[in-house]
Structure 1
Amino acid sequence: MTFMRSLTSALVAALLSFAPAFAERPIVRTALQLSGTVNWEADTIRHYRLDEANGFSMEVTDIAGAPAAQIALIAGEVDMIVSDWLWVARERAAGRDLVFIPYSRAVGGLMVAPGSSAKALADLKGRKIGVAGSPIDKSWLIMRAYAQKVEGFDLAVESEQVFGAPPLIYKAALDGQVDGALNFWNFGARMQAAGMRVLLPVEKAAEALGLDPETPLVGYVVRGTVLKAHPGLGAAIAKASHAAKEKLASDPSAFERIRPMMKVESDAEFEALKAGFLAGTPKSGAVDEKAAARMLALMAELGGADLVGNLRELPDGIFYRPGS
């Protein structure tokens, strides 16, 4: 045990010696919903000092949810949050200097009970579908587009939807109150561990629509002024995020350490959540902006102004570009 502690200390020291040469270590004030899956990564970054290894300090405060985080970021009360790039696109179009650094491309799927006779979306015609979020949830819009363009019917018209918070949709699905459920990926993993099966993954539906499933939907969103004040900070944040995922993928003890915050009820649930989290790791390199533009066009077509405002084209500078 003493040897392992010494080895860990030596590794951290080695990493610190390669940290970017900022004039002084920037403190990145980060607002996160600590009950969410992003905290698995943020806590890993801070516990193993992966922020310091990359020349900055991540200071995390808990926040109630996405709207509160977005308001705090715009007001300058924090430097970084986690959100989706469609919101960043809207804000940049409105003149706000925000930059998206990929964090996850994890998406769920439409799930049904193990004994369900459904083999395709069309089999849910006239049935009740639970959807986490609202009618402009991105995964729901992709499912609607798939139904229209691949199976030839309007899922929104020919099924009954129940929209609600992820835990409520999770419970409704397990209790049999809905015939199908589209939930956030982590609740989907719990549902699968409980015996439900995936009827159609969002990733497969997106691919059938000509979208790139590698396009990350969720990322760290940083105020541009902070990145400009500390050149190289964007790369440092991206490297710390990647290093945390590598640690969780390669060291079983790293996931065991955060198991209490995952609130799992079984080993099967634990393994499903681990697999889902790691499967969402974005590929390295720059985001394919042409692929993102195709997704934006689809979201604008189906979600309208409620989702993307008046945005019809991808604003420049949304995505962090490696080397910038």
Structure 2
Amino acid sequence: MTRTLHYLLFLLAASTTAHAAEPLRIGALAFGTLNWELATIQDAGLDKANGIELETQTLASPQAGSVALLSNSVDLIVSDWIWVSRQRENGADFSFAPYSASHGVLIVPPASPIKDLSDLAGKRLGVAGGGLDKNWLLLRALYQEKYGQDLEKAATVVFGAPPLLNEQLQQGKLDALLDYWHYAAKLEGKGYRPLLNGQDLMHQLGIKAVLPSLGYVFRETLGTQRPAALKGFLAATQEAKRLLCESDPAWEKVKSLTQEEDPAALASLRRNYCAGQVRHWGADEQKAAETLYRLLKQAGGAEAAGQSETLAPGTFWPHAADR
């Protein structure tokens, strides 16, 4: 009896070890949409179902996320593929899997006379982020192509943080605003009018594919040495996105994380978040990303896209393709 009991305990321990959850440290901006997914993953038990255990570290800024990943304080953050390519140029082994295809939005007040890009001349234009923001570089490139003029000289341009610029637009201190999508979505819920978004900019510049603006960024070693952890996380996030877009109860549970109470603004946030789902990510999209990289390099130089004339090999995680 004793020998049988010992054997059963051994089998139980072996089973528990074999199915132990893989720990994963996630760096997430305090008010970023990644928190919606993380909350949904844990509420729906998608972490346990995919064999992972999430530990979330709140980040004060995107720069804090970069530092945390570089210092190995976290395993994964959300960032863009331009940053990944630049890090790989410098010898780092980071890689990128798509997170969202929602881009910045050029938005104007409801009664604005601005109907197209030509109307921006002489206007007060706010730009979220800095002079190297991808959407700003693309807007400048398109304006130059269409009208043969630098938009930064044609308009009065104000760079700043999205909350401040949103306030200035609502106070009438700006005529138009190139905003991050989720801040623009809140304005859209209040009746403000989107003029075009980052996908529109790329389309008019000749890039037809739908490209992710942001992705999950991690070290290659996470995927090669702990493949179950990465695969489980990516599977859990895909299911969390589906729930947030298809299940009203799932959405209700994360509404408090949006810091928004207005029903129209909440509906706009959800609609724009769901519109940003990456439906396909394969060879055609990655080839288009190379074209976009060259455009950004031409528009912003090494400061915007790094020293290399092409994306660094390995920028895109190969096992995230062909979804």
- The residue aligned with 2:85 is 89
Q: Which amino acid aligns with 1:121?
A: L
- The residue aligned with 1:307 is 304
SS of residue matched to 1:156? helix
Which of 100, 116, 119 is 1:123 aligned to?
119
Please give the alpha-carbon distance, in whole angstroms, between the structure 1 residues aligned to 2:47 and 2:282. Answer: 21
Please give the alpha-carbon distance, in whole angstroms, between the structure 1 residues aligned to 2:81 and 2:18. Answer: 27
Please give the alpha-carbon distance, in whole angstroms, between the structure 2 residues aligned to 1:211 and 1:240. Answer: 30
- Indicate conservation of the 8 Å contact 2:108/2:175, yes or no: yes
Which of 143, 150, 164 is 2:139 aligned to?
143
- The residue aligned with 1:8 is none
- Indicate conservation of the 8 Å contact 1:285/1:322, yes or no: no
SS of residue matched to 2:318? coil
Q: Which amino acid aligns with 1:307?
A: A
Identify if the C-alpha distance between structure 1 residues 130 and 123 changes in structure 2 by more than 3 Å, giving closer, same or farther.
Answer: same
**1:226-255 deviations in whole A, cap 9, x for unaligned?**
221113443322211110111111110111
- Indicate conservation of the 8 Å contact 2:57/2:74, yes or no: no
For structure 1, the residue ranges without an aligned partner over 5 or more in a row are 1-20
More helix by share: 2
Tell me how far 1:24 sits from its aligned partner.
4.3
Which of 13, 19, 26 is 2:22 aligned to?
26
Which of 206, 211, 218 is 2:207 aligned to?
211
SS of residue matched to 2:241? helix
Tell me how far 1:323 sits from its aligned partner.
7.1
TM-score, scaled to structure 2: 0.89
Identify if the C-alpha distance between structure 1 residues 279 and 323 changes in structure 2 by more than 3 Å, giving closer, same or farther.
Answer: closer
Identify if the C-alpha distance between structure 1 residues 22 and 244 changes in structure 2 by more than 3 Å, giving closer, same or farther.
Answer: farther
Tell me how far 1:152 sits from its aligned partner.
3.5
Tell me how far 1:108 sits from its aligned partner.
2.9
Which of 219, 222, 228 is 1:223 aligned to?
219
Q: Does residue 295 of the first structure (1) align with residue 305 of the second (2)? A: no
Q: Does residue 286 of the first structure (1) align with residue 282 of the second (2)? A: yes
- Indicate conservation of the 8 Å contact 2:26/2:57, yes or no: yes
Identify if the C-alpha distance between structure 1 residues 284 and 45 changes in structure 2 by more than 3 Å, giving closer, same or farther.
Answer: farther
Q: Does residue 320 of the first structure (1) align with residue 317 of the second (2)? A: yes
Most deviating of 38-47 and 132-141: 38-47
Q: Which amino acid aligns with 2:288?
A: A
Q: Percent identity?
A: 35
- The residue aligned with 1:9 is none
**1:194-246 deviations in whole A, cap 9, x for unaligned?**
12111222211111111245110101111112221113443322211110111
- Indicate conservation of the 8 Å contact 2:27/2:57, yes or no: yes
Tell me how far 1:22 sits from its aligned partner.
7.1
Please give the alpha-carbon distance, in whole angstroms, between the structure 2 residues aligned to 1:247 and 1:110. Answer: 29
Identify if the C-alpha distance between structure 1 residues 285 and 204 changes in structure 2 by more than 3 Å, giving closer, same or farther.
Answer: closer
Q: Which amino acid aligns with 1:304?
A: G
Identify if the C-alpha distance between structure 1 residues 91 and 212 changes in structure 2 by more than 3 Å, giving closer, same or farther.
Answer: farther
- The residue aligned with 1:38 is 34
Q: Which amino acid aligns with 2:297?
A: A
Identify if the C-alpha distance between structure 1 residues 69 and 303 changes in structure 2 by more than 3 Å, giving closer, same or farther.
Answer: same
Please give the alpha-carbon distance, in whole angstroms, between the structure 2 residues aligned to 1:22 and 1:149. Answer: 58
Q: Which amino acid aligns with 2:103?
A: V
1:1-324, aligned counterparts within 5 Å?
24-286=20-282, 288-322=285-319
Please give the alpha-carbon distance, in whole angstroms, between the structure 2 residues aligned to 1:291 and 1:233. Answer: 29
Please give the alpha-carbon distance, in whole angstroms, between the structure 2 residues aligned to 1:218 and 1:31. Answer: 14
TM-score, scaled to structure 1: 0.89
**1:56-79 deviations in whole A, cap 9, x for unaligned?**
222111111111111111111111
Tell me how far 1:285 sits from its aligned partner.
4.1
Please give the alpha-carbon distance, in whole angstroms, between the structure 2 residues aligned to 1:257 and 1:224. Answer: 33
Tell me how far 1:309 sits from its aligned partner.
2.3
The structure whose Rg is larger is 2
RMSD: 1.8
Tell me how far 1:182 sits from its aligned partner.
0.7
For structure 2, the residue ranges without an aligned partner over 5 or more in a row are 1-16
**1:59-116 deviations in whole A, cap 9, x for unaligned?**
1111111111111111111111111111001001111011111110101321111111
**1:249-291 deviations in whole A, cap 9, x for unaligned?**
1110111111111111311001000001100011144362211
Q: Which amino acid aligns with 1:254?
A: A
Please give the alpha-carbon distance, in whole angstroms, between the structure 1 residues aligned to 2:320 and 2:60. Answer: 34
Identify if the C-alpha distance between structure 1 residues 96 and 304 changes in structure 2 by more than 3 Å, giving closer, same or farther.
Answer: same
